[in-house]
Amino acid sequence: MKIPKAILVDPQRNQLYGCAAVALSIFVFAYSTRFGQVSILAYYACWLPLLLVDHRRILDGYWHYLWVIAFAVLACLSVFWSAAPSVTARASVQLLSHVICALIAARTVNTRTLTLGAMLGICVVLMFSFAFGQYSYDPLDGNYSFVGAFSSKNQIGLFSSLGILFAFAALVILRERGLWRMLALACAVLSAVALVKAQSATSVLAIIATLAVLICLKITTWFSPTARKGALIAGLMVALVAVFAAASLGASDLVLGAFGKDSTLTGRTYLWSQGWAASSDAPVFGVGYQAYWVQGFSEAERLWAEFYIDTRTGFHFHNTYIEVLVELGAVGVLLIAFLMLRIPFGLLRRLASARNDPEALIAFGIAVMFLVRSFVEVDVLTPYVVGGFLFYYTAGLLASPLRSQNATGRVDHHTLGGFVQADGAG
């Protein structure tokens, strides 16, 4: 029995396979520590074999992705100066392969399929946590929080906020009907309940900010292209002024107080100071990818003890840029900051010129969420995590080469995640 390539790699015809692959990947990202290497192999089996199915489609214009993989390449090169070469070698290869899987997904799965598959996967993840999860006492803030089947409330908070984001995308941006609409409503309810139970201030604030931005952008699609660009510029200026005004008036303390937090962000400011101090040992290229949090290293052991991390694994500086500064130095910070800014601003430029581009709008929402979270979390730096997969998926969409078609006359087209959109008269 010969299986047509299209049902595996054609974004217009592979919805069934794409939804299943995304849903399985989401589940693996959530619980790979529980199910071990078998789950990781299942994740690779979803994406890497597609290279053999149709390598021309996937590798076409691969040079457009060099800026996307630059950070992962630097992580691989850091093995030559790493304080823990064996740890860096293994982790960096895992990261690069993880990025490659995300880019394969960007070439073979459109954003509608991603949205539907992500909702399905997140529903399964949250139901698993409700069925087998638990509450955990946090000695830093003195509260019990629901951590589900995870080891941290921030992780279940991340999946919950993503569930709300994708449910919003399905209901408001894609306007799904029938069973998919019911799935979106179920995902939204499950995610909201989990988010409230987890009491993760980071996740709540990030999803509120992301939805606010998406709603504003959705409103601007009613304007003409010229008016839309002016509205976007004005909106950015107002947002910047509002942020600075809120900071100067102490609004951050009020917001944190509403979640039972203090101005130290439950120890994060102390961690940041420790990260800055650690970065001075190797300011240009760092100590090597994942070569700081290594068992037996004195500073890592000290911080694990101070923050009651009995497992002595899975900890970080709770800031993407400080984490990178310690591991890959100033060069790494420049590369990750370039990615963090290039993706949302590149998608914003497409949104400013397109009359209706739901694919770019969904990708922009994903990019904005991880940009907001990057200042207080580390979501995109490690392999086999949902943040890295979605982040590099959006980068892959942005980097997709432009293609021209003349099927209906002299009209230029571009593709974004498999959808073809005409830039005709608006």
Residues 76-132 have pLDDT tens digits of: 999 999 999 999 999 999 999 999 999 999 999 999 999 999 999 999 999 999 999
Q: Are the beta carbons of 272 and 323 closer than 8 angstroms?
A: no
Q: What is the pTM of this model?
A: 0.89
Three-class secondary structure of residue 415 per DSSP: strand
Is there a contact between 407 and 394 (Cβ–Cβ < 8 Å)? no
pLDDT at 239: 65
Name the residue among 126, 102, 120 with its Cα closest to residue 44. Answer: 102
Q: d(Cα 426, Cα 409) in Å, to the nearest integer?
A: 17
Name the region of 146 (left: φ>0; alpha: ψ -120 to 50; beta: rest). beta
Tell me: the pLDDT tens digits for 274-333?
999 999 989 999 999 999 999 999 999 999 988 888 888 878 899 999 999 999 999 999
Residuewise pLDDT in 10s, the chain (426 residues)? 577 888 899 999 999 999 999 999 999 999 998 999 999 999 999 999 999 998 888 888 888 899 999 999 999 999 999 999 999 999 999 999 999 999 999 999 999 999 999 999 999 999 999 999 888 876 666 677 888 999 888 899 999 999 999 999 999 999 999 999 999 999 999 999 999 998 888 899 999 999 999 998 888 877 776 777 777 777 667 666 665 555 555 555 555 566 666 556 667 888 999 999 999 989 999 999 999 999 999 999 999 988 888 888 878 899 999 999 999 999 999 999 999 999 999 998 888 877 788 999 999 999 999 999 999 999 999 999 999 999 999 999 999 865 333 322 333 333 444 333 333 333
Q: Token pair for residue 289? A: 């990818």
- For 5-23, give one letter per residue: b (16+ CB within 10 A) or e: eeebbbbeebbebbbbbbb
> Distance between CA atoms of 39 and 145, rounded to whole angstroms?
27
334-336-339 Cα angle (round to 5) = 110
**CA distance linking residue 180 with residue 358, whole number of Å:** 17
